[in-house]
Chains A and B, each alone.
Chain A
Amino acid sequence: MSKGYLAFVFHAHLPFVRHPEHQDSLEENWFYEALTEVYLPWLLVLESLVEDGVDFRLTFSFTPTLLSMLLDPFLQSRYLRRIERLVELAEKEIERTVQQPEFHGLAQLYHRRFLDLRDAFAYRYDRNLVEGFRRFQELGKIELLGSAATHAYLPLLSVNPSAVRAQVQTGIAYGEQVFGRRPEGFWLPECGYCPEVGRMLSDEGIRFTILESHGVTRAEPRPKQGVYAPIYSPSRLVAFGRDPESSRQVWSSVEGYPGDYDYREFYRDIAYDLDIDYLRPYIHRDGIRLDTGIKYYRVTGKTNHKEPYVPQRAENKAEIHAGNFIFNRQKQVEYLASVMDRKPLIVAPYDAELFGHWWYEGPAWANHVVRKLASGEGALRLVTLSEYLEEYPINQVAAPAISSWGYEGFNDVWLNGSNDWIYPHLHRAARLMEKLSDGHSRPGRLAERALAQAKRELFLAQASDWAFMINSGAMTEYATRRTKRHLSRFFRLGEQIQNNTIDENRLRDWEVQDNIFSSLL
């Protein structure tokens, strides 16, 4: 019998990066890499668990921007070309490394891997990975959470309640349309919480959300059970708190598992080691070196010296780390159970993209954890958050605290001297959107299309990713351009709608380019 519960929550998100106007896009490559290294491997792990009769419960959230890209035929088609090019590159690598036994076997492995992924994408899932995940929801193996429409950082939009409501409503509606089920839980982008956002979720019928640890520990009044049991907000929203220990054990760049010396080195891709003429067909068409996904080295140590990657050693280490993770959770739960009046719950949320992309062995580690727990190791049971609430519907009432899971735990990442210029525009745009939508809409199909496109542009401008990138100093130019582009289009559309001067040709271009939620708006 289990002494406690463990709830894994994997949050999958990418910003909407879709550039039909370019023959080759650096930013779209984020999506293609994630397909190869994260989403397809996750699906294959889930498939193997079901095929082997393993009993498990996991929670996933897919943001509507990511879902929209996963379902986009244009991006699907481009990805298929991309993975086929990788198969071809791996074939060339097999030939090139024939005199290098330490790499030759790896090249063969990559070749097989890319072939498997291509076949899974093209044939097993018929390019539709969303349907793959939906199947596991139907089987009761995973619970899917809703999320905001374009991963907006909601606390900084809450001065315009209509903006938050639109993000929440559209995000829920799109998730329901795609997965066929209205979600009970909602993933707050960046775990960004403030009371206004909590009330909005309750108003929309959301039952629970997940907060960074201090969102619960600093609740008012003081929660008796820390983060090891949820609390009810005054508006009846259930707030689960993130367990700091299990977060650190995986996430910390100092202590976390992914830094183990046997794991694959993220930064040593052949794209940066080999001659550019050899690589040219497989990187950006302008010759900019992009990750190919073929990496021959392991972390090895803290210096630049890297030893060849040995898959079996990495696999063994993933299993050891899985056992270690369970052992720690078991000890944690044993202690907590001794001082709590119920079975403790460990909530362990992670960015899904860590698993497979940054941490190549991450899906294997998760696979081992799930299998070990299912076999009875650790006296812990995996649950979904809904299941937990079924068993424990009585919880303490406390108002969750303002919080996020970003650096410093509040709004610092998305609001500072580098990116604060965004918010006056976003707030002004939200006020204009209220006017445009307030029931006095201009009649006619063209005006409806323009209003729908204005909503899309505003949603895209509200994505927290742009402020995040500007703050980090990476991709600043791109993030700035995206913010300005969507705001500019929004205000131009707003003006045209108000003045009844809609430029249909331009509208059509924008509808094709920024086509997010075209099935909904």
Chain B
Amino acid sequence: MVFAEGLAAQKHSGREAIVEKSRQELKQPPQDSASHQVNPDEAESGWERETEEIQGGDEETKVVLLPVNPHLVYVYWEISARDLEDVSRVFSRLGPRARPLLRFYDTAQANFDSLNSGSWFEVAIALGAGKWYVRLENPASFYCVDLGLRLADGSFHRLARSNPTEMPKTGPSDKLEERYLLVDGNHSPAEVVAAGEGRSEPRSAPSHDVTQVPRGRSHEFGEALRTVPASAELQGREADWPEHSGASGPVLASAEQPGEEVELAVDLGDSPSRLQYHEPEGDGELDRELGRVRPSRAAPAGEMERQIAEFYQQRSWEWVWWAPRAQGREESPAEPKLRADLTELSERSFCTGLSSWQKSS
């Protein structure tokens, strides 16, 4: 939603200050909406200011689990008036010996329908908060949550069970199975067998789903788990993102200084650093830049092409160099192409949040 992003960006651009000045000129309070200047005719015809109170809906006890990212989940709950009375009675009878909890089941699959989960852990909550964030440093694949009370005798009294939720993944799968499907408008979907480069051959086609999501691993939860109440300020998560190597960075036509002609910056430094716009600051800076391979200003097109090609020659080598060996087999010298792991390549050059110009700033 780039227009709204633009408004966010104003905070950093100085324009907000200008808008603010404009408002001061008008001696009007800052506002970000067209909440004024109701057409008098329309007002008379029945337009109204609404209370903006949100009321209504069902009266059931609910708990809902939503993943935020691979290491953070959000849980909210609503307790019906009847259940609230019951809970109040329990609290008044047992006091602090009754503890409200979220019990997380590692369900390993989406169709969780049993309490016999492989493992579970509990998170103490404040029932009145209505929502809770739980940080998971070593998450399972699927979770389901029970909202309930642990009583003095150790028993667990469930108030509601959440939806089962699949957690996002932190990296590519290690599972290398290759199964192919032929889908076109003229035939039923058919599974095919890869038959060497460039060819695939149909075989008898099961129409059922062919991929199984692997069962999640067991985890020691203990200290690997931290929780925060929903009201607390969330800190940056501690996910292990793949290192953003710039080895696949594009060649960029460089930005110009006033009066300069187009030049091309090419970095063939010792690390596969991403090429970026840069601003040479005088001849000294330019000389230092020449420590890297860099075409002269207004380089002839042929020279530019040559140097770009040189860069890419190196880069393509690096792409191959990145690629892990094919798992489970010895690599033969005749199979260099197998070394190219395109999923790894895509992951390494992937940078989140590049959905708009301003969002990445």
Per the bound structure, the CA–CA distance linking A94 and B309 in Å amounts to 47
Between A221, A232, A336, the greatest number of chain B beta carbons within 10 A of the residue's beta carbon is seen for A221
> Contact between B13 and A255 (Cβ–Cβ < 8 Å)?
no
B357 touches which of A14, A359, A394 (Cβ 8 Å): A359
At the interface, yes or no: A423 with Cβ under 8 Å from chain B?
yes
Q: Are A476 and B32 in contact (CB under 8 A)?
A: yes
Are B39 and A423 in contact, with the CB atoms below 8 A?
no
Chain A nearest CB from B251 CB (Å) reads 6
Chain A residues positioned under 8 Å from B179 (CB to CB): 396-397
User: Can you name the residue of chain A whose Cβ is closest to the Cβ of B202?
Assistant: A394
A136→B12 CA distance, assembly (Å): 39
B64 interface hit (Cβ, 8 Å): yes
Determine which of A245, A259, A300, A485 lies in contact with B349 in the assembled complex, contact meaning CB atoms within 8 Å: A245
B176 beta carbon closer than 8 Å to chain A: yes
- A373–B360 Cα distance when bound, in Å, is 28
Q: Is B113 located at the chain interface by the 8 A CB criterion?
A: no
Q: Which of B89-97, B151-159, B284-292, B338-346 is found at the contact surface with chain A?
A: B338-346
Interface contact B350-A491, CB-CB below 8 Å? no
Q: Are A232 and B183 in contact (CB under 8 A)?
A: yes
Q: Are B56 and A494 in contact (CB under 8 A)?
A: yes
Q: Is the CB of A261 within 8 A of B352?
A: no
Q: Which residues of chain A have C-beta atoms less than 8 A from B15's C-beta?
A: 267, 272
User: Roughly how many angstroms separate A225 CA and B337 CA in the complex, as a whole number?
Assistant: 12
Q: Report B355 CB to chain A, min CB distance, Å.
A: 4
Q: Which one of A254, A397, A407, A428 lies within 8 Å of B57 (CB-CB)?
A: A428
Query: Is A234 in contact with B35, judged by CB distance below 8 angstroms?
Result: no
Subset of 10 A-B contacts with CB under 8 Å = A22-B37, A217-B172, A221-B176, A238-B183, A342-B198, A358-B356, A394-B182, A415-B66, A424-B78, A491-B54
Cβ-defined partner of B253 (8 Å) among A320, A341, A408, A416: A320
Q: Is B189 within 8 A of A244, CB to CB?
A: no
Whole-angstrom distance from the CB of B103 to the nearest CB of chain A? 19
The reply to whether A405 and B355 form a contact with Cβ atoms under 8 Å apart is: yes
A106 CB to nearest B CB, Å: 17
- Known pairs A222-B343, A495-B56 / 9 extra A-B pairs, C-beta < 8 Å: A13-B1, A212-B352, A248-B349, A276-B25, A353-B3, A410-B168, A412-B68, A431-B57, A478-B34
The reply on A375 being an interface residue by CB < 8 A is no
Chain A's nearest CB lies how many Å from the CB of B110? Answer: 8
B169 pairs with A411, CB closer than 8 A: no
Given A214-B347, A235-B209, A341-B198, residue A286 in contact with residue B28 (CB < 8 A): yes
Of the 9-residue stretches A42-50, A97-105, A173-181, A321-329, which lies at the interface with chain B? A321-329
Residue of A nearest to B141 (CB): A220
Q: Given the interface contacts A395-B181, A406-B355, does A509 sit within 8 Å of B32 by beta carbon? A: no
Residues of A within 8 A of B35 (CB): 477-478, 481
**In the assembled complex, A81 has its CB within 8 A of some CB on chain B:** no
A236 CB within 8 Å of chain B: yes
Check A340/B181 contact, CB under 8 A, given A276-B22, A288-B19: no
Complex alpha-carbon distance, A432 and B56, angstroms: 9
Q: Which 6 A-B pairs have the closest CB atoms?
A: A226-B342, A491-B56, A474-B7, A428-B57, A407-B353, A253-B361
CB of B215, distance to nearest CB on chain A (Å) = 12
Which of A23-31, A70-78, A376-384 interfaces with chain B? A23-31
Pairwise interchain contact A399-B213, C-beta atoms closer than 8 A = yes
Asked, given contacts A247-B354, A340-B342, A407-B353, whether A488 binds B51 with beta carbons under 8 Å apart, the answer is yes
User: Could you tell me how many residues of chain A have their Cβ less than 8 Å away from some Cβ of chain B?
Assistant: 157
Docked CA distance A45–B56 (Å): 49
Q: Is the CB of B1 within 8 A of A338?
A: no
Q: Using a Cβ cutoff of 8 Å, how many contacts connect chains A and B? A: 417
* Given the contacts A287-B25, A341-B198, A402 and B169 also touching, CB distance less than 8 Å: yes
- For A509, list chain B residues within 8 Å (CB): 46-48
For residue A460, give the distance in angstroms from its CB to the closest CB of chain B: 14
Q: Is B39's CB under 8 angstroms from A221's CB?
A: no
Contact B175 A251 (CB under 8 A): no
Q: Which residues of A contact B138 (CB under 8 A)?
A: none
How many angstroms between the C-alpha atoms of A195 and B110 in the bound complex? 10
B interface residues with partner A (beta carbon < 8 Å): 1-8, 10-11, 13-15, 18-19, 22-23, 25-26, 28, 31-39, 42, 46-48, 50-58, 62, 64, 66-70, 72, 74, 76, 78, 110, 130-131, 133, 163, 166-169, 171-184, 189, 191-192, 196-200, 209-211, 213-214, 230-234, 237, 248-253, 255-258, 262, 274-277, 279, 308-309, 312, 315-316, 319-320, 337, 340-347, 349-361
CB neighbours (8 Å) of B345 from chain A are 226
For residue A246, which residue of chain B has the nearest CB?
B250
Q: Which residues of B contact A247 (CB under 8 A)?
A: 351, 354
Q: Which residues from chain A contact B315 at a C-beta distance below 8 Å?
A: 331
Q: At the interface with chain B, which of A119-127, A142-150, A301-309?
A: A301-309
Counting CB contacts under 8 A, is A361 at the interface? no
A289 contacts B19, CB within 8 Å? Answer: yes
Q: How far is the CB of A357 from chain B (nearest CB, A)?
A: 7
- Residue among A28, A190, A390, A472 with most chain B CB within 10 A: A472
A4 at the interface (CB under 8 A from B): no
Q: Is A69 an interface residue (CB 8 A)?
A: no
CA distance A475 to B7 in the complex (A): 7
Chain B CB within 10 A, most for which of A156, A159, A335, A425: A335
B353 contacts A408, C-beta separation under 8 Å: yes
Contact A402 B168 (CB under 8 A): yes
A353 and B13 CA atoms in complex are apart in Å by: 19
Question: Is A301 touching B279 in the complex (CB atoms < 8 A)?
Answer: yes
Q: For residue B19, which residues in chain A have a CB less than 8 angstroms away from its CB?
A: 272, 288-289
Question: Which single member of A14, A217, A338 contacts B3 (CB below 8 Å)?
Answer: A14
**A21 B38 Cβ-Cβ under 8 A:** yes
Task: Decide: A251 and B357 in contact? CB cutoff 8 A.
Answer: yes
- Is B249 a contact partner of A420 (Cβ separation < 8 A)? no
Taking CB atoms, residues of chain A closer than 8 Å to B58 are: 428, 431-432, 435
Does A34 contact B34, Cβ atoms closer than 8 Å? no
Q: Are B346 and A411 in touch, CB under 8 angstroms? A: no
B residues less than 8 Å from A324 (CB atoms): 250-253
CB atoms of A218 and B178 under 8 A apart? no
Measured between alpha carbons, how far is A253 from B361 in the docked complex, in Å?
5
Residues from chain B with a CB closer than 8 A to the CB of A468 are 1, 4
- A38–B262 alpha-carbon span in the complex (Å): 27
Given A33-B3, A220-B213, are A411 and B277 neighbors across the interface (CB < 8 Å)? no
- Encoded as 1 (CB less than 8 Å from any B CB) or 0, chain A from 425 to 457 comes to 101110110010000000000000000000000
Q: How far is the CB of B264 from chain A (nearest CB, A)?
A: 8
Q: How far is the CA of A245 from the CA of B55 in the complex (A)?
A: 47
A339 near B342 with CB under 8 A, answer yes
Taken together as a complex, chains A and B put the C-alpha atoms of A28 and B319 apart, in Å, by 47
B174 shortest CB reach to chain A, Å:
7
Q: Which residue from chain A places its CB closest to the CB of B337 in the assembled complex? A: A339
Question: CA–CA, A397 to B183, complex, Å?
Answer: 11
Chain A proximity of B352: nearest CB distance (Å): 4
Q: Say yes or no for A166: interface residue by CB 8 A criterion.
A: no
Q: Is A92 in the interface zone, CB < 8 Å from B?
A: no
Binary interface encoding of chain A residues 86-102 relative to chain B, with 1 for a CB under 8 A from any of its CBs, else 0: 00000000000000000
A23 to B189, CA, bound (A): 56
CB neighbours of B47 from chain A (8 A): 21, 509, 513
- Most chain B beta-carbon contacts within 10 A, residue among A15, A234, A417: A417
